[in-house]
A and B are shown apart, each in its own frame.
Chain A
Amino acid sequence: MKQENKSFGRKLLENDGFQTLLASILCILGGLLVGFIVLLLIEPSGAVSSMGAVIKNFFHYPQALWFKYFGQTLVRTVPLLMCALSVLFAYKVGMFNIGAAGQYVAGACATLYFALGLKMPWIVCILAGMAAGALLGAISGALKTYCNVNVVISGIMLNWIGLYATNTILATVKNPTSPYTLPVASVNPGAVIPSLGLDKLFNEKTVTLAVPLAIIVAVLIWVVLNKTMFGYELKATGNNFNAARYAGMKENRNIILTMVIAGALAGLGAALFYLTGIEDWETTMSAVPGMGFNGIAVAFLGGLDPLGSILAAYFIQHITSGGGGVDLSYYSSQISSLISSLIIFLCAFVGFFKMFILKRIRLSDEKKAEAAKSAKGGAGK
């Protein structure tokens, strides 16, 4: 009886996917609003146009360049999406993979060394990058299962170890006159990922097979998590470690395997980025690149769903690229990282937001039931 009476709006409000979408949109709006307030506080006169630049990204430039800059944004979205997948995959199994940043760095190290030092073809370089990321993930996973070391702490330590090691190793293939590694495209053209005509479509040579490949990987992760027994076992291990163990699942193996896959994803992200030749590695880098940390933002903004992450990754990269267009006489491009970190902070409230909606629905249900009861009682008398 009750269910028939439900209006479309109510059904929508009770739907978990809709709640997630609504929450994500609210997080984005909140982040943008606070970002705008910060701009206003720094200098009111340029705030509107600079905020516009952040939101518009490539639309900020002449129309002839739209596709080119759109292409560049897509190329930079790829590693971000991979890092997000790495974070969310581990999170589904109950681990917070803050080490994605270091796994990404290790991936960049192996990829670039195989491309520039060993002159390998692109496919080998990608596999090397994945293997390096997987290795770092495996260390975190093994430390967790065998030594009970918190994954967050080991991840952070490995981030810094990875950064210093990478800078040292890649210094052997760097440009002698600058801190950057040699350009992949001129040293070893065979290591550049083929573009199959995508470069002509976007009029931007760095748009390669990496873009569609990233989407395929995201779909694959969705299938593994939601449609396979392996994914089910992993999620069960994450939800209740002991229950999974009693059910006969190999919980230790599952945890290490999860971290290996998560690490490989982050490593793949680095490979798909550096093998396009859009950027070279700076060997004097003194802070771990933000890609892995932004991956955390994307994973939560995307509602911890691989497909949602595609949209979220594009959005975060869109505003990050847009940050380059702010009025540099007052502001800095880091305003975009400020907005994305605000978004993660707000994402922490999503659980509370959902509970709030459900509570309101239940309350209004109870009220209605009460009203119906008293109406009936009144008629009976």
Chain B
Amino acid sequence: MAKKTSRKATAESMAAKQRDISVSEFFAKNRHLLGFDNPRKALLTTVKEAVDNALDACEEAEILPDITVEIVELDAPPAPAKGRGASGAAGKYKVIVTDNGPGIVRKQVENIFGRLLYGSKFHRLKMSRGQQGIGISAAGMYGLMTTGKPMVITTKPGKRKAAHHLELAMDTTKNRPEVTMDVETDDFPETSSGTGTRVEITLEAKYQRGKTSVEAYLEQTGIANPHAEITFIPPANGGRADDDDQPTLAGEESDLAVAEKAKAEHAENAGGLLRTIRLDDRVIFPRTVDELPPETSEIKPHPYGVELGTFLSMLKKTDEKQLGGFFKREFCRVTPAILKGVTDQASTKGNSISGQSWIKSIDHAMAERIYKALQQAKLRAPPTDCLAPIGVRQLLAGLLKGVSAEFYSAATRPPAVYRGNPFQIEAAIAYGGGLPGDEPARVIRFANRVPLLYQQSSCCSFKAVVETGWRNYQMSQPRGSLPVGPVVVMIHMASVWVPFTSESKEAIADYDEIRKEMKLALQECGRKLATYLRKRQKMRREGQRRDVFERYIGEISRACNALTGADAEELYERLLKQARRRTEIADAILDEDGKVIGSKAEANAGRRDPLDGDDGVIILDDPPSPDDSPNAPAPTTTPKAPAKRSTKSPTKKKPARKPSSAGKKKTKAPTTKKKPKRSGAAEKPRVRVKLQAAGESQANLFS
């Protein structure tokens, strides 16, 4: 799926220098490092890799991602025996991930899917998803090892070109791909872009619902990537409890039509809000933003973030001949003036250096002195255009989709730096509505748009949530724990280098700078929430006030009529108008500072888009009741709001599968095709959120 264009010799060259290590052996020994600790996690990791790759590929090709994830149960996991952990019992599953990305040219397929640890994201300082590090090939290998089934890849690189169907096994001893089947096929679902890739991996796994399930992962991915539309088709019997023979019947009719219809209906029901759609056989996390994240640039290392050893090896490896050129090319923020100061400080009697000094002449001691002087020099913070935060709007759109609450607020912190690495923290809060009120807050964490599902309590963001004084924001919080209340807290860290606590990359390391930023972001959201809550109280009071006024106005106008002969009706109307005006706060929509940004009446009349305000806060008038879907990880929504805006016509058709026959595909011609653009794109019917809010850094995220 994803193209991995450049390569750095790592495992490969090492293996060549020493002696061949069986990759499968290595893999079997270290599967926990790679996220295949247990069958349940293996399934998630496989989906994760495939989805991350799909998103990366789509974004690189500037295609709005449409991703379908299907899990088919081949062999159900055996019922857990007594005394054995549930995760130990594995079944056999097939994971099918289809995207509408650019496709892959035939000759690259083996390289991309067939080799382990083949990638480029590791060394560069650029914000990218490649956080899980092991790639889809590891998932393929895991599948091959556990079930003996090769990875099946179908890719369509051009609209008019035929799709390739490949079956890919791996020579595990040589870490080389082995193509077992290679045919051209027209059996590829129609996608919006006309191109696309499908990966099928059969593996030993276990499908389970819950906090760390595939579904939760996809849901959170949807929140962090509001520009992507993700459809999840869970295994027929592992899915919903009410899953009887309904899907089959629906499938008979036309999956596609049913899905589209449901989506349109859903949008109508939600009063124009796009939210997670739960159908009998699938879950759709719809696209809520029609613009791709901006592209980020790669940055050079900042001297503060480089260790001595790295510095030395950089000196050794550089092609530059002189110190000045070296610093200019390899580092950021080292200006000639600073370099002069550094070299002056590093110079000793009889060994004076400057920017013109030859690198060859720098010995170890001198390099160390330069390094020290560099660390002491006053340097500007690294550039931050390498960061692409999700953005307040997008955060809100994402949360709105996944979490049904009544109040949403989001905040993006300005970029900050830890150890020379720029990073940016974003936080969002959803409050009230359908969220359970007596449970600890749910914290969802992201690093570079990738959800982190495991090791919550060792994560920096978790600590930041605990350390934030939620009582100031009208919430209860037991000492040293999460706040309790109907609240979902979301934290996103965007950085060129996210510091994870471990290789499994599941928790962000606890740097003071990072935690401080996280707390500041949370406080910002919390303040908005507190303002809202206070304002809500005030609104209630104002409502009562208005009642009082309205009660008396009739009496007053009648008395005045008797006294002066003034028109009682007119007087009543005028006073009523004034009373309404004076208590208009009662039906006001509030912005983050508690300022009135509109009134309910106005909103209902024009059905304002809740995301249109420029405030980082969304407040819904009619949040769904908590009993809407009590068992779902995040309550899905069927708001009772009457349809006010339903002009949105379905603009594209999605491929859909019969849930009963997993392997077979059914295609339909798309009615419309869309060509998304990066920021600045013209408004399309479905554009609901302007991507760049003023003040957000314009940078690019993925490539």
Do A and B actually bind?
A: no
